[in-house]
Amino acid sequence: MLAVLCLILFAYLAGSVSFGLLIAHLQGRPDLRQSGSGNIGATNVTRIMGKTAGILTLLGDGAKGLLPVIVAQWWTTSPMVIAAVALAAVIGHMFPVYYGFRGGKGVATALGVFLPTLPLPLLGGLIVWLLVVVIWHYVSVGSILAAITLPMLAAAMAYPPPLVGVALVVALLIVYKHRSNIQRLWQKAEPKL
Average pLDDT of the residues in 119-138: 97
Question: Is 193 domain-assigned?
Answer: no
Backbone angles phi and psi of 118, in degrees to 5: -130, 60
Q: What is the mean pLDDT of residues 137-162?
A: 97
Average model confidence (pLDDT) across the chain:
94
117/110 Cα distance (integer angstroms)? 11
82 located within any domain: yes
Positive or negative, the Cα torsion across 149, 143, 193, 64?
Answer: negative
Cα–Cα dist 36/117, whole Å: 33
Q: Is the pTM value of this prediction over 0.85? A: yes
Rg of the chain over all Cα atoms, to the nearest angstrom: 16
| Contact present, 108 and 125 (Cβ < 8 Å) | no
Name residues whose C-beta falls within 8 Å of residue 174's C-beta, 6 or more positions apart in sequence: 105, 106, 107, 110, 143, 144, 147
Q: What is the pLDDT of residue 183?
A: 95
Q: How many CB atoms lie within 10 A of CB 125?
A: 29
* Of the candidates 193, 107, 92, 103, the residue with the CA atom closest to the CA atom of residue 150: 107
Residue 17 within a domain: yes
Rounded distance between C-alpha atoms, residue 127 and residue 79, angstroms: 25
Question: Residue 20's closest CA among 34, 4, 2, 8?
Answer: 34
pLDDT band at 87 (very low <50, low <70, confident <90, very high): very high
Average confidence (pLDDT) over 125-131: 98
pLDDT in tens, 168-178: 999 999 999 99
Q: At 178, phi and psi to the nearest 5?
A: -95, 15
Answer whether residue 192 is part of any domain.
no
What is the Cβ-side half-sphere exposure of residue 141, based on CA atoms within 13 angstroms?
18
Domain contains 191: no
Instruction: Provide the number of structural domains found in the chain.
Output: 1
Q: How many CB atoms lie within 10 A of CB 168?
A: 17
Report the alpha-carbon distance of residue 20 to residue 58 in Å, rounded: 8
55-81: per-residue pLDDT in tens? 999 999 999 999 999 999 999 999 999
Q: What is the residue range of 50's domain?
A: 2-186
Residue 156 maps to a domain: yes
Taking CA atoms, 61 is separated from 120, 128, 129, 137, 172, in Å, by 21, 21, 18, 22, 19
Kindly report, residue by residue over 30-52, the tens digit of the pLDDT.
Answer: 777 887 777 888 888 888 888 99
With a pLDDT cut of 90, the percent of the chain lying above it is: 82
Residue 95 has what pLDDT? Answer: 97
